[in-house]
A and B are shown apart, each in its own frame.
Chain A
Amino acid sequence: MKLLLIEDEQELGDNIQKLLLDKKYICEWVTTVAEALDKISFYDYDCVLLDLMLQGANGLEVLKELKRQHKLEAVIIISAIETLEARLEGLRMGADDYLTKPFHLSELLARIEALLRRKNFKGNNIVSFNEIIIDVLAKTVCINHKLIDATKKEMDLLLYLIANENRVLSKAAIAEHLSGDMAEMLDNYDFVYAHVKNLKKKMNAAGAGDYIKSVYGLGYKWKNE
C-alpha cells in the first residue's frame, strides 16, 4: 500500500510517517501543495492524507487536481479546522474522510485501514484475523466459523483493535473511537473497560485466542499469540 502524506507541521508529519512505515505501508511525505501536485501527476497512491492549512496555499487544491485528473486515490483530510462547513465542503469536493486535529494516531490508522478496505474489496468488506472473520457490511463476527453475538460497539472495538495490531491503544483513544461525534463531550473512559471485558468474554466463549492484552496504566493492545 502506498500513501502520500501532505503535512507542513514537521513534528506531526514525522510521527505520522513513522506510524505508517511501522505498519509496512509505503509513505511519502511532502510539505507543500506544489510538491504534492508534482507527486500526484507522476505517481498513483492508494491513499492521500491531506492537511488543509498549508503555508501559503489551500490543501483543497490538491483534492481538486486529483478529481480533475479522475484519479482514484482515497483522500483523508486531516485539518485543524473543525467547523461543520469545512467538513462538508471537503466531503463534497470528494474527500472520503475528515479527521480533525488533534487526533489519536491509532484513530488515523483505523480510518486508513477502513478506507482502503472499502476501496479495494468492493462489495465484499471482510476483515479476518486468524480464526476471527468480521463482515463489516453485514455487521457480523464469526469465530471458528461460528457466528457470535456481538453488539455494534463490540464489533467496532474489535475492528479498531485489529487495525492497530501490536500498538498500545489508550482508553481515551478507544473511548473516542467508540463514541464518534459525542467524543468531544467525554471526560470519563470507564465504559471502555466494560466493553473490553464483554468482548473478551465472548471471544473466550467462542474459543478465540486471548489477543487483547491489558497494558499497565495505559490501555490495551491487540497481539497475536
Chain B
Amino acid sequence: MSKNLLNKTLQIYSIYAIIILIVAAPIFYFAIKRLYIKEADDTLLLHKKEFVLYTLPSMQEDLIPTWNRFNRNTQIINDGILKADSIYAASYYDSLDAEIEPYRVLESSITIGNKLYTYRAKTNLVEVEDIIINIVILFLLVIILLLLGLFFLTKNLSVSIWKPFYRTLNAIENFELDKAIVPIFLETEVKEFNRLNNTLQHLIENNLSVYKSQKEFIENAAHELQTPLAVFQSKIDQFMQRNDVTQEQSTLLEGLATSVARLTRLNKNLLLLGKLDSNIYSEKTALSISSLIEKNLNFFTEQAEAKNIEIEFNTIEEGKVLANKALLEMLVNNLFLNAIQHNVEAGNIYIEVGNDYLKVSNTGKAIQLNQAKLFTRFSKINTSEKGNGLGLSIVKKIADLNGWELKYEYENQFHIFLILF
C-alpha cells in the first residue's frame, strides 16, 4: 500500500522519537544516578580530609563520646581494627521519616592517642533520588516537547514546501497527449521543483511536437493518397467501358475495383481518425439519439436485408445528448454498421435507446470477443471479414472524446455494445 509523502515522513519521525525516548530514559536515569553517587562519595572523602586535617590533631580520647553525641552522621567507633578506606551503600532506619533510607557510608581507620579507631561518615541519598527523578522527568518533557515541535513544524512546513510539487502533480495528471493542452507550471522557490517543472515542460513539449508531426504525417500521407487513388479509380472505370473485356478480365477487374474501393474507404477513415483529435468537431448541440437512428434506419435496413437480418429498434426514451452532430452520427452509424457487418445470415439486431444509453446487440460468431483488442485500430478479430478494422476504434475515440463509457458484453448469443452517455 502506498502512503502519502507527508505521512511517510511523519511516521518515520514518530518511530524515531519513540525509540529515542525508550532508550534515553533509562540511560539518562542511570547516568545521573551514577554522577550523584560519585558526588556524594567525593563529599564524604572531602569531609574526612577536613576532619583529619583540622579536627583530628585536637581530638582526644575522652572527647569521642561527646563528638559522637553531636555528630549523628560522623561517628568515631572504637573497634581497634585496622582497615583500608572503604565506601559502600547501606540502608538505615531513619527515625525522623520512620522508614529505611539509602545511605553512602565511608569507613576509614584513624589513630587517636595511639589507639586505632574507625571513622565512619554517612550521607543520606533520599534527596538525591528525588532530584534524579525530577531531572529525568524534566529531561523527558524537554525531549517530548522538542519532538512534538519537530513533528508539527515538519507537518506544516512540508505542506507548504511540497505545495508546488502537488500543484505540478495535478497539472500533469490532467494532461492528455491528444488534447494538446499544455499544463502550466508556476515558478517556485525551491530549486529542485523548478528543475522538475522545467524538465516536465520540456518533456511534454517534445512529446507534443513529436505527436503532432506524427499525426500530420498520417494526415498528409492519407491526403496524398487521394489523388493516385482517384487516378486508379478512373482508370478502372475507363477499362470497364471497353467492349472487348473477356470473362477472365472482368473477374480481374472486379477484384481491382473491390480493392480500390476498400483502399478508398480505409483512407477516408484514416483521415477521419486524424481529424477527430482536432477541434473542428467541438461545436455541440442538443441531439436526440433515437431520431438520429431513425434518420438512417432505411439505409441500414436496406443493408441488413441483403443478409436477411432482422432489425428491431426500440425507443424507451428519446435519449437526449449534448454532442457534436457529425460525431454522434458517426458513432451511431459505425455501431449500426458493425452490427450488420459482423452478423450472420438471417441474424438479428436489437437496438435500444434509453434516457442515457444506447444499446446495440447483434447475433454473430458465437464467441466472446477479446475486449482489449476490440477497440484497437486494425485489430480485426477475423481477417477474412470485410470491415477495415477502424469502425469500432472510431466509435471508441468518439466516446472517449465525449467522456462516454463504451462497454462490450457477450450474452445469450448476442454481442452487446453499450454506450453510457
Q: B-contacting residues of A (Cβ < 8 Å)?
A: 9, 11-12, 15-16, 18-19, 22, 80-85, 100-106, 167-168, 170, 172-173, 179, 182, 184-188, 190-191, 193-194, 215-219
Alpha-carbon distance A216/B233, docked complex (angstroms): 19
The minimal Cβ–Cβ distance linking B328 to chain A, given in whole angstroms, is 14
The minimal Cβ–Cβ distance linking A171 to chain B, given in whole angstroms, is 9
Chain B residue with the shortest CB-CB distance to A10: B231
Q: Which of B238, B261, B305, B334 sits near A194, CB closer than 8 Å?
A: B305
Query: If A9-B227, A182-B299 touch, does A105 touch B257 (CB 8 Å cutoff)?
Result: no
B226:A187 contact, CB within 8 angstroms:
no
Neighbouring A residues of B241 by C-beta, 8 Å: 22, 167-168
B306:A187 contact, CB within 8 angstroms:
no
Chain A residue with the shortest CB-CB distance to B262: A187
Per-residue 0/1 for B276-305: is the Cβ within 8 Å of any A Cβ (1 yes, 0 no)?
A: 000010000000000000001001001101
Q: Total number of A-B contacts with CB less than 8 angstroms?
A: 120
B264:A191 contact, CB within 8 angstroms:
no
Q: A15-B234, A102-B229, A218-B253 are in contact. List 8 more A-B contacts (CB 8 A).
A: A9-B227, A11-B234, A19-B234, A80-B227, A172-B257, A184-B265, A188-B340, A194-B305
B237:A104 contact, CB within 8 angstroms:
yes
Within 8 A of A (CB), among B213-268: 223, 226-227, 229-238, 240-241, 245, 247, 250-251, 253-254, 257-258, 260-262, 264-265, 268
Chain A residue with the shortest CB-CB distance to B302: A191
A12:B253 contact, CB within 8 angstroms:
no
The minimal Cβ–Cβ distance linking B174 to chain A, given in whole angstroms, is 29
B253:A172 contact, CB within 8 angstroms:
no
- 10 closest Cβ contacts across the A-B interface? A190-B306, A80-B226, A101-B230, A102-B230, A217-B250, A15-B234, A105-B237, A102-B229, A102-B233, A168-B240
Q: Which of A84, A167, A179, A218 sits near B254, CB closer than 8 Å?
A: A218
Neighbouring A residues of B230 by C-beta, 8 Å: 9, 12, 80, 101-103
Query: If A9-B230, A15-B238, A172-B257 touch, does A185 touch B388 (CB 8 Å cutoff)?
Result: no
Chain B residue with the shortest CB-CB distance to A22: B241
